């Protein structure tokens, strides 16, 4: 029996050659905070947010130009709670960023498709690989409120409005926050993931890969199996690189 998913941690596991046209290789990263790293090659690069360190356009540009330079055919990114210049809320006078900087940043990330780099924000994205495999992706930058930041929500009702937008046929989900009790334990032992997102994931019966970050100290990956109501097993990846400085590679059988 061929397992439907294989996980490799850069720097820990030996990453074998690409397994062939019957597979898609996803390279998962997050929380790079304006730093650049060596990452493995693959079919699809997924960045789960905190592109910048403290949210300025100049810091964002460092990350985007680095991502553009990578040779993955498809590259998809979402924002995170540090990416202030991408959150339209931060253009309001009470938040303090110049409105023109926010508009410039949002225009900038949306203009990178020619380089194969796609920014998604509470929206779906679909692509087709040369193998003919079609993948349905959904990305959200949202996270529960924690200090000052971007794309944050305070109540369960706000979270439900955000996550109820995820289509039921999503194959690949990218969120900045982890779900509750999935690779979300902080250094103080608290589970900091989102309850509402966990409940939504239970409804996504076709979701094969969920990539997130946010909780730096709990980077890693696991395969969620044994749910009789799911059509497929799901790989969960906390791809935060701030501590590990290493990507996580996931091969999915087409």
- Look at the chain and count its residues: 254
Provide the pLDDT for residue 49: 97
Average pLDDT per consecutive 10 residues, the chain (254 residues; last block may be shorter): 86 95 97 97 98 96 98 97 97 90 98 97 97 96 93 97 98 98 94 97 96 97 73 91 97 96
> How confident is the model at residue 96, as a pLDDT?
80
d(CA 22, CA 253) in angstroms, rounded, equals 6
In the prediction, which pLDDT does 70 show?
Answer: 97
CA 139 to CA 164: how far, in whole Å?
Answer: 12
Query: What is the rounded CA–CA span in Å between residue 43 and residue 73?
Result: 6
Do 80 and 50 form a contact (C-beta atoms < 8 A)?
yes
If you search the block for the tokens 């225009």, which residue do you land on?
Answer: 107
Show Cβ contacts of residue 182 under 8 Å, excluding neighbours closer than 6 positions: 193, 198, 222, 224, 236
Determine how many CB atoms are found less than 10 A away from the CB of residue 25: 22
Question: Could you say which of 3.90.180.10, 3.30.70.260, 3.40.50.300, 3.60.21.10 is the CATH number of the domain covering 5-15+23-253?
Answer: 3.60.21.10
- What is residue 159's three-state secondary structure? helix
Q: What is the pTM of this model?
A: 0.96
């Amino acid at each position: 029996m061929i397992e439907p998913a294989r996980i490799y941690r850069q720097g820990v596991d030996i990453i074998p050659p690409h397994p062939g046209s019957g597979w898609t290789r996803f390279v998962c990263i997050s929380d790079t905070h304006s730093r650049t790293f060596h990452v493995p090659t693959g079919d699809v690069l997924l960045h789960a947010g905190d592109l910048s360190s403290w949210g300025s356009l100049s810091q964002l540009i460092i990350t985007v130009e680095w991502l553009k330079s990578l040779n993955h055919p498809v590259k998809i990114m979402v924002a995170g709670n540090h990416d202030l210049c991408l959150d339209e809320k931060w253009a309001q006078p009470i938040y303090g960023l110049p409105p023109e900087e926010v508009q410039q940043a949002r225009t900038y990330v949306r203009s990178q498709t020619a380089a194969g780099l796609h920014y998604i924000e509470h929206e779906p994205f679909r692509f087709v690989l040369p193998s003919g495999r079609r993948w349905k992706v959904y990305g959200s930058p949202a996270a529960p409120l924690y200090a000052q930041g971007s794309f944050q929500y305070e109540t369960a009702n706000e979270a439900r409005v955000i996550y109820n937008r995820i289509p039921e046929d999503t194959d690949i989900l990218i969120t900045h926050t982890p779900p509750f009790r999935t690779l979300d334990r902080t250094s103080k032992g608290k589970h900091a993931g989102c309850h509402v997102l966990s409940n939504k994931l239970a409804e996504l019966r076709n979701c094969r890969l969920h990539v997130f970050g946010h909780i730096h100290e709990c980077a890693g990956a696991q395969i969620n199996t044994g749910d009789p109501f799911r059509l497929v097993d799901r790989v969960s990846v906390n791809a935060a690189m701030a501590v590990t400085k290493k990507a996580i590679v996931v091969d999915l059988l087409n």
